Structure 1
């Protein structure tokens, strides 16, 4: 989405002084937008990390999950419905408090799914994946803010890479191989690392060719959250395959 423009109230002509006021106003809006997105994202990640720890270290929760495996499908359905609603319906993701309600439901359902996946892995592997994901996400975010390269023009390439990854994942279902799982995890982690840089620069705006509107703070937080979640899942897959 191309970035919307914002004119200071009461101005019509863009003379030098007014142009500076416009630029300052636009940067102020963008900074406030970025702060809001990261505040929402941190709340999402804290909830998700808490759910992972609960499923990994709290044995009654793990036993309850193993006794009720159908809850995975319920959580998956809730995640899919809320994600499609926020992605496709502008009124859902822009109307307060509806957008926060949908995002909270999505985050809880996604956290349940991540906790369920983590419960099937060794606690050491899960915590290692969490630590690596946190370090990689921080490094990529700093890189996206500092680099002069514009990754916002890579949308088409990332879509093609995601389709190729999906095809490889379907093949991995029928071909049981630790090597294929390792390769699939490495490629998936690399693609979503690029997605994280791409979505971060879309949020930043500025001199990048494409940017997201400051009104889309829920959508921006959702994109970054999904990038980090996918990086975690693929890193966990790599660790699991390597341990075998």
Structure 2
């Protein structure tokens, strides 16, 4: 009888406490691993972004401060069209081809071409504004980006849940752009263009907060750590478009 009882006890299933004894440790380990991966992802994105911005600032400064380069660029607008075609092609490849933007080294090559083409376009546009305006807009863009980044890291407001609002604002901006394209042939309206530029600057400031919170991964919507190229692309475009709209608002043409 004793022997049979002992065998029966050995065949009894484990209790809940025994079965889940190591669960808390495993959950803590998984959470720690996820945070480590996310931090590495954030550092990688911002490292690439800083290189992109430094290259862009260098090209914009060259086109704005160096008179011979500025004259050459302004007298050869075909270079702008070529850079625009390269920008469009690389943007489509990086945005629509998920496997391509995750495949090394093609993702880095496309990102380099994209950055150079966008930097060339911004340098071309900046060459038509006086240097004081360009420097002022660069400084304001830097302050806005730092403020939005600190806000996105510290706030409890979930900007990622407002994607519907951002989409609606994009549609409004599109309709305004169509309206401006119709109005421009009949005469330049300064206050209308200034109003459009203010709206664009506000919109891409919101997009910068949205994409930053997607990067952090602690809100309703997040971006996968595998998509570091796409995350960098999004932040870079937000900053560039913010700078271009600020240049339209405060930039003065060369005399």
Question: What TM-score, normalized by structure 1, do the two folds share?
Answer: 0.91
Hey, what does 1:79 align to over in structure 2?
Answer: 87
Is structure 2 residue 235 aligned with structure 1 residue 224? yes
Specify every segment of 5 or more residues in structure 1 that has no aligned partner in the other structure, as ranges: 1-12
Q: What CA distance in whole angstroms lies between the structure 2 residues aligned with 1:230 and 1:171?
A: 20
Specify every segment of 5 or more residues in structure 2 that has no aligned partner in the other structure, as ranges: 1-20
Hey, what does 2:201 align to over in structure 1?
Answer: 189
Is structure 2 residue 251 aligned with structure 1 residue 240? yes
Q: How big is the shift at 1:241?
A: 7.4
Q: How big is the shift at 1:68?
A: 1.1
Judge conservation of contact 2:95–2:230 (CA < 8 Å) in 1: yes
Is structure 2 residue 37 aligned with structure 1 residue 29? yes
Q: How big is the shift at 1:170?
A: 2.2
1:191-216 Cα offsets, whole Å, 9 max, x none, are 0000000000001002x110000000
Q: How big is the shift at 1:174?
A: 3.4
What is the DSSP-based 3-state SS (H/G/I as helix, E as strand, rest coil) of the residue aligned with 2:145? helix
Is structure 2 residue 102 aligned with structure 1 residue 94? yes
- Rate the CA distance shift 1:128–1:58 in 2: closer, same or farther, 3 A: same
Q: How big is the shift at 1:240?
A: 3.0
Hey, what does 2:67 align to over in structure 1?
Answer: 59
Q: What CA distance in whole angstroms lies between the structure 2 residues aligned with 1:152 and 1:234?
A: 23
Cα RMSD, aligned residues only: 1.8
Hey, what does 1:6 align to over in structure 2?
Answer: none
Q: What CA distance in whole angstroms lies between the structure 2 residues aligned with 1:94 and 1:195?
A: 23
| Bigger Rg over Cα | 2
- Rate the CA distance shift 1:14–1:177 in 2: closer, same or farther, 3 A: farther
What is the DSSP-based 3-state SS (H/G/I as helix, E as strand, rest coil) of the residue aligned with 1:224? helix
Judge conservation of contact 1:179–1:241 (CA < 8 Å) in 2: no
Judge conservation of contact 1:205–1:211 (CA < 8 Å) in 2: yes
Select which of 110, 117, 121 maps to 2:118. Answer: 110
Q: What CA distance in whole angstroms lies between the structure 1 residues aligned with 2:208 and 2:241?
A: 10
Q: What CA distance in whole angstroms lies between the structure 2 residues aligned with 1:84 and 1:47?
A: 21
Q: What CA distance in whole angstroms lies between the structure 2 residues aligned with 1:120 and 1:189?
A: 20
Q: What CA distance in whole angstroms lies between the structure 1 residues aligned with 2:61 and 2:54?
A: 11
Question: What TM-score, normalized by structure 2, do the two folds share?
Answer: 0.87
The equivalences for 1:123-162 within 5 A come to 123-162=131-170
Select which of 70, 86, 90 maps to 2:78. Answer: 70
Q: What CA distance in whole angstroms lies between the structure 1 residues aligned with 2:182 and 2:132?
A: 28
1:104-156 Cα offsets, whole Å, 9 max, x none, are 00000000000000001111101100000000001000000000000111112
Judge conservation of contact 1:86–1:93 (CA < 8 Å) in 2: yes
What is the DSSP-based 3-state SS (H/G/I as helix, E as strand, rest coil) of the residue aligned with 1:149? coil
Q: What CA distance in whole angstroms lies between the structure 2 residues aligned with 1:22 and 1:165?
A: 43
